[in-house]
Amino acid sequence: MGKKHRLGVLLLLGVMLLPGCWDRMEVEDMAYMVALGVDRDEEGELMVTVMVATTPELTAGGVPAPVKPDYSRLSAKVLTARGNTITEALYVINGGLTRRLDLRQVRAVIVGEGLAREGLEAYVMELTRSPWARGNVFFAQARGRAYDVLARIEPVAEVNPPKMIEGLIIQGKSLHLAPPLRMHHFLARHAANGGDPYLPAMAMNAEATGSPAEPRVSDESALPGELPRGGGSPVEYAGTAIFSSDRLVGFLNVDQTQMLLALRGEMGKAYTTFPDPDHPEKKVTMRFHMENMPKYTATFRNGKPHVRVRLLFEGEVLAAPGGTDYSVPEARVRLEEAASKYARERIHGLLERLEEWEADPVGFGHLYRGRFMSWQAWESYDWRTHVDDLTVDVETEMRIRRHGLVVGPDQIS
């Protein structure tokens, strides 16, 4: 390459570099929005709540702090605005901020109950259309207002509210208190013709502010916002919000959430407590998980969809205060049958509730998609109109493999 050519190449490369970063945004000019809440208020307007991380120790007057920042002083402010769309409301909030607010740092999106009952499609699509919001943000449904969840959250064993939200979600996921879902899951499951979406539930539990916990009102697993606990943050992350298409139709408790995840083949290690078969006044607590994926057989019976599902669980006894030695084979079989029956009843209860709501969060419809030769044939079948006709036979089996560190009855003497 001659000298002239080299000069030309250098000039062209220079042209590439010249435009550079004239409109760059400095870190200290940005506001870090860590959580977004969307509600429909009493007047019918869209109300957007944002939790913005405040970092006074990190920078001072736009320049990095000369001393090591004190992370224990990180906190968050909750701001709200009204608008016709999420984007418009964010612009409104920007009117009172000295830093630029956008969606790129958002970790969690929480939707209010009123808005969700109208339908979420438009708002999820608005966030999907945005180049800043990402499909992998945590997505949760508030039982009540999203504003209350964000405004009332109080860190426990944490120093800042944003971390508290993330911690709640991580714990909910590992203990199967709520399904671990992100915004893209909602979008894809709503778009896929053959099932309905669902979301993890968050709620403000007014009773939880006192300590100790209030007495339990029933043996049933509680709905989100009603867990029998006291002290700490009033906000809890448990249960599932069920949608029919994109509209919220109801909430599941923790037990039903576990069974929903089991039917979907997504349940990890979960905890359950049920009556001791030998001492009905006592309760046995077990940790259990799925031994393998659920086995489905989908058929048409008299022209109506009929599904048989077989679930195989594996359990570990954590507490058996009745005193029976469940390591003995005959007793173990009794316990396995009781646990299996309990799970089956819970699933039946769940399916009854879903039938009442005309929702299919399990995705039974997808079992039938492959039976149609073309997409058009599947669309014209219109699964949604057949959800009512669906009948499900459930078969469950529990195998108890372990008994914790004590193999034998709870007897010291």
Comparing CB distances to other proteins, the nearer of 128 and 171 is: 128
> Are residues 162 and 151 in contact, defined by beta-carbon separation less than 8 angstroms?
no
Q: What is the rounded distance in angstroms from the CA atom of residue 248 to the CA atom of residue 357?
A: 10
Distance in Å, CB of 34 to other proteins, minimum: 13
Helix or strand run (H / E) with residue 377: helix 375-381
Helix or strand run (H / E) with residue 353: helix 329-357
Distance in Å, CB of 281 to other proteins, minimum: 44
Comparing CB distances to other proteins, the nearer of 233 and 244 is: 244
Distance in Å, CB of 82 to other proteins, minimum: 26
Q: Which residues contact 398 (CB under 8 A, 6 or more apart)?
A: 288, 313, 314, 315, 336, 337, 339, 340, 343
Comparing CB distances to other proteins, the nearer of 65 and 192 is: 192
**Pairing outcome for strands 198-204 and 138-143:** parallel
Distance in Å, CB of 141 to other proteins, minimum: 20
Interface residue list for other proteins (CB under 8 A): 5, 8-9, 12, 15-16, 19, 22-23, 131, 134-136, 184-185, 187-188, 191-194, 363, 366-367, 369-370, 372-378
13 by DSSP, 3-state: which? helix
Q: What is the rounded distance in angstroms from the CA atom of residue 398 to the CA atom of residue 84?
A: 51
Distance in Å, CB of 127 to other proteins, minimum: 12
Comparing CB distances to other proteins, the nearer of 9 and 333 is: 9
Comparing CB distances to other proteins, the nearer of 366 and 384 is: 366
Distance in Å, CB of 341 to other proteins, minimum: 30
- Residue 273 exposed, middle or buried by CB count within 10 Å (0-12, 13-18, 19+): middle
Q: Which residues contact 47 (CB under 8 A, 6 or more apart)?
A: 38, 39, 40, 41, 80, 81, 82, 89, 112, 147
Comparing CB distances to other proteins, the nearer of 10 and 213 is: 10
> Are residues 271 and 285 in contact, defined by beta-carbon separation less than 8 angstroms?
yes
Comparing CB distances to other proteins, the nearer of 68 and 129 is: 129
Distance in Å, CB of 373 to other proteins, minimum: 5
Distance in Å, CB of 121 to other proteins, minimum: 11
> Are residues 363 and 179 in contact, defined by beta-carbon separation less than 8 angstroms?
no
Distance in Å, CB of 132 to other proteins, minimum: 9
The DSSP result for 168-233, as a single string, is: HHHHHHHHTSS---BHHHHHHHHHSBTB--EEEEEEE-GGGGSSSPPPPS-SSPPPTT--S--SS-
Comparing CB distances to other proteins, the nearer of 119 and 135 is: 135
Cα–Cα distance list, 209 to 159, 178, 231, 235, 262 (Å): 18, 21, 5, 9, 32
How is residue 181 written in tokens? 């879902």
350 by DSSP, 3-state: which? helix
Comparing CB distances to other proteins, the nearer of 5 and 68 is: 5
**Pairing outcome for strands 138-143 and 108-111:** parallel
